[in-house]
Structure 1
Amino acid sequence: MHAQHAQQAQIQAFFDQATATVTYVVHQGRGSACAIIDPVLDYEAASGRTATVSADRVIAYVREHGLRLDWLLETHAHADHLSGAPYIASRLGGRTGIGEAIGKVRKSFSAVFPHHGSLGEFDHLFAPDEQFAIGGLTARAIHVPGHTPADMAFHIGDAVFVGDTLFMPDVGTARCDFPGGDAAALYQSVRRILELPADTRLFMCHDYPPAGRGPAWESTVAAQRAHNIHLRDGISQDDFVAMRTRRDDTLAMPALILPAIQVNLHAGRLPPPEGNGVRYLKIPLNAL
């Protein structure tokens, strides 16, 4: 872990205002290998139209810096946006990876969304603590269940991309009321991240800024331990679980959960066209 911590990763963030999602490009400088984390495909629910404005910004950055795309990394199967991974891979190559527990998430939704493909739609399923490389950067996939059973944080060089575990200290933590979610598990997952060295850089998957500040996505282990409103040092697991459960009971479903789950459980691939050549996303009635 200490050798990994010494490596300096260069990180470019792209904030998608529509879904409050942050996509990252991680690399070691011009001409190096890179990874793209949590790419977004634009989707307008009212019209059913997709667009690639967000993904094209990321692609332009990769090309401008002469980077070679090794990995498209999904921290989990998102419920708030559609993945742009297949579109980016069609332009830049790269392998799409997600945590191996994605099968559990598929199973939990199988009664509502029967699957039209296999887990082989993902190029790689990461085992807990699996080591891999992004060019000269050492990386590790950390299993951080709680938000969903399959969440992964990616420790790359001196940075950790925490997915939907932590938010910025003044926002707190992710919800745990999706199928397979578990607030006690999230507490343990976050404490594992916060055992890393105090100056470890932490990068959020989302930001929902309170009034008075703009979007932000970079923190540190020290800042989270001192100031996170849900999980700073001194807050017990029992207290966290009680708070998280009360809070989750008040939250509405994400606006895009029904289209997003159908797509993201299949590595971002859209459903196949039907006989008329049109692709359809299905809206189950009274099922969730």
Structure 2
Amino acid sequence: MQQNKSVSEFIFLGLTQDPMKQKMVFLIAFIFYTGTVVGNLLIIVTIKFSRALGSPMYFFLFYLSFADTCFSTSIVPRLIVDSLSTDKVISYSECMTQVFALHFFGSMEIFVLILMAFDRYVAICKPLRYTTLMRRQVCIILIILAWIGSFIHSITQIFLALKLPFCGPNLIDHYCCDLQPLLKLACMDTYLINLQLVSNSGVICSSGFVLLMISYFIILHSLRNHSAEGRRKALSTCTSHIFVVILFFGPTIFIYTRPPTTFSMDKMVAVFYTIGTPFLNPLIYTLRNAEVKNAMRKLWSIKTTTDIK
């Protein structure tokens, strides 16, 4: 596709222009990113090597942690470097790559959250059919479909981005490349493209959130027929999932389901789902999950014993 553009690079304005605040951004982003990578990799390794975590719920949690790690890596390292740099320059091709990665792993997270909700629904509402409906082959097929869906969504976003002509200015009022800030720089009427954006990203976010809330409502409603211990365990798991869903979908719905208007708070809202959620997910899924914590302790004790020998 031939590009009608004269801009070969963009300049991020970042979260702030104040030198002291930029140092704070560096410190906070570095801490959150380090926690995100370490926490999610710890979950990935634990699920990979622990026999006790072989259920479909942990199979999907493995891919959620993977998506979180890649999603955060596509954005935060650049923010960390830019917070210490005076020239926050990104080339056109790098910008398009970031748009693709942002939407690919972001939509992957949405699809995996939906699969995790479906897994809990079957486990709690259809327990006698659980082993049949959620057998290993079915879980693998569902994850493959999630990868395909994420790829189709990201390709659509890139197609929209490549249609935008840029002839200056090239200042992106954000800390990462996404279609919303890029629409402001395009040398064309972007109403139709924004409409396509809302019908794509907006529909995925909104429909995903509604679907998840309905599924968890059905799950919680069905718990009245379970034992007290069963209700406690199911409530603990579902509460963690609902918290993650609200934390991730609230900001994304705010960003992707509105007319082509920007607000001063947009960048701070984006921080919640690009930096906050990937950092909190491993904390939520380990601190509130006894099975994961016990599996981590066993793996650590085995590793320590092996090192001593």
Q: Which has the higher helix share?
A: 2
Taking structure 2 as the reference length, what is the TM-score of the superposition? 0.25
Which has the greater radius of gyration? 2
Taking structure 1 as the reference length, what is the TM-score of the superposition? 0.27
Instruction: Report 1 or 2 for greater relative contact order, CA contacts < 8 Å, sequence distance ≥ 6.
Output: 2
